[in-house]
Amino acid sequence: MQADVITSNELASVQQSSATKALQNPSVRVLQSAVEVAELQQQWHQLEQASKGNPVFQSYAWTIAMLENPASVQSAKIFAVYDQQSLIAVLPLRIEKQKSLKALTGLGEPFQQYSEMLLTPGYNPAAVLDYLKPHLQKASADVIHLRQIREGGALYEYASTHFTEVGEADGAPWLDLNQWNSFEDYLKSISARSRKTIRNQRNRLHKSAGLSHRVIRQEDPELETMLLRTLNGRENWVEAMGYSSRALEGDGLQNVLLSLSKGTAKGCELIAFELKHGDLPISTEWGFLFEGCYSAYMADWNPDYEQSSPGKLHQMDVIEACFALGIDKVDFLKPASRYKMTWTSQVASVFDAVSPLSFKGQLYASLWLKNLRPLAKRIVLAMPKGPRAFLMSSLKKIRG
């Protein structure tokens, strides 16, 4: 990697130091419908283009897609902050009911990968959030629970100092492609040992049936089929491993993706990549293209090729395709898996944070989120795959 690349911490410091605009005459609107959001389409897009971090899951297109679900409309609390009648910030949230508890969380949950606030450059995020906090407290929730707050965004510094961190901190690997003039130059930054291993694995597959790679854009009729196939494969893998995923429960994610691909809201494009050995797909990956950044959302691979590490091999083709498409940045999203770290050394810190608003919320945050849930997670993950899969399957049946 080049030595003069700015880190996420340095970027956040630059953002803070450049905050020069003071709030003059602020006000807040709480939006709940697609009609209300559509009225702000132009201003929303302007915020998208100016905001720091990776606010793809707070984009206008994502927000409209979420609001096509009647349940999301009923629970939506989209905070639009104005200063002197100009829209300067948007924080899309919703009320999530958890039995007897209400949590104010991201509108895109459980499908979004980051909690973020769109913010006009020049405004201090802390000043805007300090002004917004009383309005959040009036949302009839027991706790504010913001999941996966990414370093470098508008929420990160404020949540680090004003909220309580819960769960296990993680990282989101990312790659600034503008550091290199070409994919070939970039490839030289990868360790010689990794390049040799990958080259040998690819050569073995090439000699037997050949490798081919293709990019599927949003206008391609095959995209929907590929997305659904990948979702099904991912669900099967999660179940076989004895893991759980709120995002894969029911057909909610499928509906959001269909809304994004078929909807009229622009700015966030679904894009997929497929690696084949002969005529057989061995690795598929798809994600979102937004403001010059590709966010790698989900991958699936053929288990028959597990020894060849198809996901790691495929990442090379994906990055090469991103160079060819003129994409500026790749966000691999969390977790900071080993295969992702083969391709980059840049990692943005990601953490969950809470702010209790009631005694019930205080108990939920301090007992469950901060202590009991992490303990239960460690115990379950320490179990062998077979018993863990049986346990999770049994719990799923009990919950119905």
Specify whether the CB–CB gap between 53 and 154 falls below 8 A. yes
The residue-averaged pLDDT of 375-386 equals 90
d(CA 289, CA 296) in angstroms, rounded, equals: 9
Q: How far is CA 194 from the centre of its chain?
A: 27
Provide the 3-class DSSP secondary structure of residue 104: strand
Specify whether the CB–CB gap between 294 and 227 falls below 8 A. no
Peptide bond between residue 110 and the one before it cis (omega within 30 degrees of 0):
yes
- β-strands 329-331, 86-98 pairing: unpaired
CA neighbor of 175 nearest in space, from 305, 1, 356: 1
Specify whether the CB–CB gap between 270 and 218 falls below 8 A. yes
DSSP at 264:
S
Compute the C-alpha angle 46/148/245, nearest 5°: 115
pTM beyond cutoff 0.85:
yes
pLDDT of 19: 62
Query: Radius of gyration over alpha carbons of the chain, in Å?
Result: 22
Asked which of 171-175, 341-345, 394-398 is least confident by mean pLDDT, the reply is: 394-398
Compute the C-alpha angle 176/195/173, nearest 5°: 30
pLDDT of 362: 96
Structure token digits, residue 282: 């061995």
CA neighbor of 228 nearest in space, from 207, 253, 209, 206: 253
pLDDT band, residue 10 (cuts 50/70/90):
very low
Structural domains of the chain in order of their starting residue, each with its CATH number: 8-170+349-384 (3.40.630.30), 174-348 (3.40.630.30)
> DSSP of 113-124, one letter per residue?
S-B--EE-TTB-
The residue-averaged pLDDT of 306-328 equals 94
d(CA 123, CA 174) in angstroms, rounded, equals: 26
Write the pLDDT tens digit of every residue in 258-293.
999 888 888 999 999 999 999 999 999 999 999 999
Write the pLDDT tens digit of every residue in 18-60.
567 899 999 999 999 999 999 999 999 999 999 989 999 999 9
Specify whether the CB–CB gap between 78 and 90 falls below 8 A. yes
Instruction: Identify residue 277 by its one-letter amino acid code.
Output: H
CB atoms within 10 A of CB 23: 17
Q: Phi and psi of 388, rounded to 5°?
A: -65, -40
* 222-241 vs 385-399: helix crossing angle, rounded to 10: 110
pLDDT of 184: 96
pLDDT band, residue 2 (cuts 50/70/90):
very low
Strand partners, 79: 30, 91
Residue 11 pLDDT exceeds 70: no
CA neighbor of 302 nearest in space, from 267, 278, 324, 328: 278
| CA dihedral of 183, 189, 195, 199, whole degrees rounded to 10 | 10
Q: What are the CA-CA distances from residue 355 to residues 124, 376, 399 (Å)?
A: 20, 22, 28
Stronger pLDDT, 299 or 5, i.e. the higher one: 299
Write the pLDDT tens digit of every residue in 124-153.
999 999 999 999 999 999 999 999 999 999
The residue-averaged pLDDT of 322-342 equals 95
Provide the 3-class DSSP secondary structure of residue 241: helix
Q: What are the CA-CA distances from residue 159 to residues 104, 116, 210, 380 (Å)?
A: 14, 11, 49, 29
The residue-averaged pLDDT of 312-325 equals 96
